[in-house]
Amino acid sequence: MTTSKSHISFEFFPPKTQEGVEKLRATRQALAQFKPEFFSVTFGAGGTTQEGTRNAVLEIQREGFSAAPHLSCIGSTREAIAALLADYREHGIRRIVALRGDIPSGMVDVGEFRYANELVAFIREQHGDWFRIEVAAYPEYHPQSANAEADIRNFVAKVNAGADAAITQYFFNADAYFRFVDEVRARGVNVPIYPGIMPIQNFSQLSRFSDMCGAEIPRWLRLRLASFGDDSAAIRAYGLDVVTELCDKLVAGGAPGLHFYTLNASGAVSTVCQRLGL
């Protein structure tokens, strides 16, 4: 792996307890050794973790790291989004991960933004080039998209609205990533598309996440993980091998870097990064 030219970033979720805050601080310090381009912090459906996201991002920045808050527009207003953007800009934040976001259960009013491309266009309209904007990409297609073609069009629209780069949903089939990149490159999309990497530590948890977000666990991988039963050490060891091999294949095939979904833990991610020579 050519580490000198590879972008590395790590994603966290905002902690809800003081214990979680302390754990995230320790995780961040452990991962800082890999000199990531930035740390990102997720944003709950309908903005339910807005304050937690803000607190985590500003603390990360105070520690001297580049921080990128996720910004979800579903269920929000132009006024509320404008206030958030102004606040982040006032605090010197230069990156935003711009997302439509999931529609919370029972929500009737989806707000003034229906799609992420509208949010991207609004950020550019309000702040020009102040923010570097990352958007989401789905190599295995968004579970709510009408079809694969519609999903590709939606992604292209986000880039055309002003996105600087994209981060993908996690996946375990490298060909899905390469095929997606080829398809959007053929439509004139030239921004970096960073593959999202999910460590494998708990098979039942991974299955739940994957069912919710539409990420496929290939049959060979699902059956192999299931064969370990409750042997969590064997699952983690096998998962490390699978994810390390995936990362190697992605970067060797031209991926510009890697974005790790850490789940606020450093162990598995650190091991993969060390194996890759980062």
Query: How far apart are alpha carbons 74 and 119 in whole angstroms?
Result: 9
DSSP letter at 17?
Answer: S
Torsion of CA 24, 163, 258, 179, to 10 degrees: 140
Question: What DSSP string describes 56-101?
Answer: HHHHHHHTT--EEEEEE-TTB-HHHHHHHHHHHHHTT--EEEEE--
Give the list of residues 6+ apart from residue 143 with CB closer than 8 angstroms, or none: 213, 214
Give the list of residues 6+ apart from residue 121 with CB closer than 8 angstroms, or none: 161, 162
Torsion of CA 106, 112, 115, 118, to 10 degrees: -170
Query: How far apart are alpha carbons 267 and 243 in whole angstroms?
Result: 13
φ and ψ of 257, to 5 deg? 165, -160
Q: Which of 11, 118, 134, 140 is catalytic?
A: 11
Would residue 183 show up in a list of annotated catalytic residues for this protein?
Answer: no
Give the residue carrying structure tokens 């980062």: 278
Query: How far apart are alpha carbons 265 and 263 in whole angstroms?
Result: 6
Residues with a known catalytic role = 11
